Amino acid sequence: MVLVVEVIPTGIRLRPDPGRVITKPFLAHTGGLPDSQERLRRIVRHTIALDPQTIEESLEDLRKGFQTRHRDIEAIWESNLNFVGRVVPEVARVSNRSLRMLLGATFTQEYAIEGAALTNPSIVGIGGSEFILSLRAIGEGHISSIEFRSGRRRPDGELEIDPPGPYAAAGRRSEVLFERDRFASKLAQMDAEDDIADEVLGLLPQQFDATELGNALTTVTAKDRIHPLQAETTTHVFRWLASSNYELVFEDEPLSERVLFPAGPSDSNGMEDARFVRFTEEDGSVNYFATYTAFDGMRILPQLISTADFVRFRVSSLHGSCAQNKGMALFPRRIDGKFLALSRHDQTNLHVLWADDVWDWNQAERLTGPEASWEAVQVGNCGSPIETEAGWLVITHGVGPMRTYRLGALLLDLDEPDRIVGRLREPLLSPDWSDRDGYVPNVVYSCGSVVDDGHLILPYGIADKEVGVGLVEVDRLLAAMT
């Protein structure tokens, strides 16, 4: 007899809201600042030449149209004007406030972070029955960012998720210190390590910042023996890698208004499918990690987010031969002193990875691959493993005919997590054929779940358009697998 496991619907649906907008610098489709100075100067000169009445009238219309959509629209205009002012000297000479505000507005755009979809959630507990839900928001150009919601499981067992605040804002990018050994390891993985790179690294301390990196690059590439093309290539690779490591910092915005929007070259076209986990160190300290897929328009790479407070987020490159492809998820604690993760780095099979350093992944063992027809194409995880008395509970996804995504489950041994001790033979959750259409049809997908009071709280994306939440009785699920 097959024990049927039911995903109990909660009735919660989170749908995309095109009215949730952030602001970005608007460079008038110039392709970026370095190659567009003349066009930017023309725009600045045109605006400066306007008569005072036109400036005031234009600015008043802008205030009426946008000041209720952002917490401090004039501070945003000033910030974006300063951004453009780095390459347009005329901006620094403008002192009239109204003119500065109009120029700032000219170089500002709104971006609807949920304009296309809201999907692929992850969830972590933060104490008691409180939790934080992360969401993949997809906007114009298929660019993905990461949003948050707070929620809880009430004493009566019902779930509630707090509505988002009235505004949304991207975090402020802050520079970070780099570790030379990690930097060198990633260069080697990118096949960018050579005599010139070694010489640059040799001038750097074990910890260095962007200024020290720039000085070392200038010193080495200015030498007569360095061909200009080699100098340009080395400088590009070093700066690309450095720019892919940064912090996003928020101030007093409520959690639901914080947006992790791409701020580096490796994730310039999207931060996809973040898998958050509450990680407890051996000394009892807690940090939150998230692995996500960075997309630059051509390549995908796994990257790591770390935060202690959901206010300051460190974004870092992962390196090592196993830091490839999509779908990496960390275990919530060390095992035998090592970090562990699940990964589908060969595109098809689920592997267990282990490492001494959370940024450096080189050891892997295949755990399982496609077995049933509904997972014939590939098998991957749907978030970090969850520790239970029976073993590590892993929600999986399988892709089968007609590119249909379904959810399954595995149970791994607590002490030997590369050993499977149970699995569901039938899908845990399949697309509802009456609700199959969306941004990507025939898909249910999750990036993380959590256990509370004997129930698995399972948020999942529906057709890559919106989010539903279900509950599963953990004892019944474990019994069905073992």
In this model, does residue 195 exceed pLDDT 80?
A: yes
| Residue 334 located in a structural domain | yes
The answer to the question of residue 126 being in a domain is yes
Q: Is the residue at 104 inside a domain?
A: yes
In residues, how long is the chain?
482
Q: Is there a single domain that holds both residue 127 and residue 140?
A: yes
pLDDT on residue 2: 52
pLDDT at 204 over 60: yes
Say yes or no to pLDDT of 193 above 80: no
Q: Does the residue 215 lie in any domain?
A: yes
Among 109, 140, 157, the domain-final residue is 109
Specify whether 164 is located in the same domain as 200. Answer: no
Residues 448 and 312 in one domain: yes
pLDDT at 1 over 50: no
pLDDT at 202 over 60: yes
By DSSP bridging, strand 450-452 and strand 363-368 are unpaired
Tens digit of each residue's pLDDT (9 = 90 or more) over 15-36: 999 999 999 999 865 544 445 6
How many independent structural domains does the chain possess?
3
pLDDT in tens, 441-474: 999 999 999 999 999 999 999 999 999 999 999 9
pLDDT, tens digit, 9 for 90 and up, residues 247-295: 999 998 999 999 999 999 999 999 999 999 999 999 999 999 999 999 9
Q: What is the pLDDT of residues 115-154, one digit of tens each?
A: 999 999 999 999 999 999 999 999 999 999 999 999 999 9
Q: Which residues are paired to 329 by β-bridges? A: 342
254 contacts: CB under 8 Å, gap ≥ 6: 165
Task: Give 161-178 pLDDT, tens digit per residue.
Answer: 999 999 999 999 999 999
Residue 63 falls in which region: left (phi positive, over 0), alpha (psi -120 to 50) or beta: alpha
Write down the pLDDT at residue 28.
61
Domain termination residue (choose one: 243, 259, 293):
243
Residues 151 and 200 in one domain: no
**Whether 10 contacts 470, CB under 8 Å:** yes
Spatial CB neighbours of 276, under 8 Å, sequence gap ≥ 6 = 122, 123, 124, 132, 134, 288, 289, 290, 384, 447, 448
Residue 262 sits in the same domain as residue 124: yes
Q: According to the model, what pLDDT value does residue 92 have?
A: 86
In sequence order, the 6+-apart residues with CB closer than 8 A to the CB of 408 are 375, 379, 395, 396, 397, 398, 423, 424, 427, 428
434 in the same domain as 305 = yes
Q: Does residue 400 share a domain with residue 328? A: yes
pLDDT in tens, 402-430: 999 999 999 999 999 999 999 999 999 99
Q: What percent of the chain has pLDDT over 90?
A: 86
Q: What is the CATH number of the domain that holds 424?
A: 2.115.10.20
Whether residues 167 and 213 fall in one domain? no
- Averaged pLDDT score across all residues of the chain: 94
pLDDT of 194 > 90? The answer is: no
| Residue 402 is assigned to a structural domain of this protein | yes
Q: Is the pLDDT of residue 315 over 70?
A: yes
**Range of the structural domain that residue 87 is part of:** 21-109
212 found inside a domain: yes
pLDDT of residue 32: 46
Q: Which pLDDT score, from 0 to 100, does residue 37 have?
A: 79
pLDDT of residue 460: 98
Enter the tokens of residue 424. 């569901």
Say what the pTM is: 0.94
Tokens representing 361?
A: 């992944």
Q: Are residues 397 and 335 part of one domain?
A: yes
Mean pLDDT to the nearest integer, 321-343: 95
Shared domain for 223 and 255, answered yes or no, is no
Q: Are residues 103 and 117 in the same domain?
A: no
Q: Is the residue at 118 inside a domain?
A: yes
**Residues whose CB falls within 8 Å of the CB of residue 119, separated by 6 or more in sequence, listed in order:** 135, 136, 138, 439, 445, 461, 462, 464, 465, 466, 467
Burial (0-12, 13-18, 19+ Cβ within 10 Å), 471: buried
Q: What Rg value do the Cα atoms of the chain yield, rounded?
A: 24
Residues 289, 335: one domain?
A: yes
CA dist list (Å): 335 to 22, 286, 332, 367, 416: 41, 16, 9, 17, 9
Last residue of a domain, one of 226, 243, 260: 243
Conformational region of residue 213, where left means phi above 0, alpha means psi within -120 to 50, and beta covers everything else? alpha
3 inside domain: no
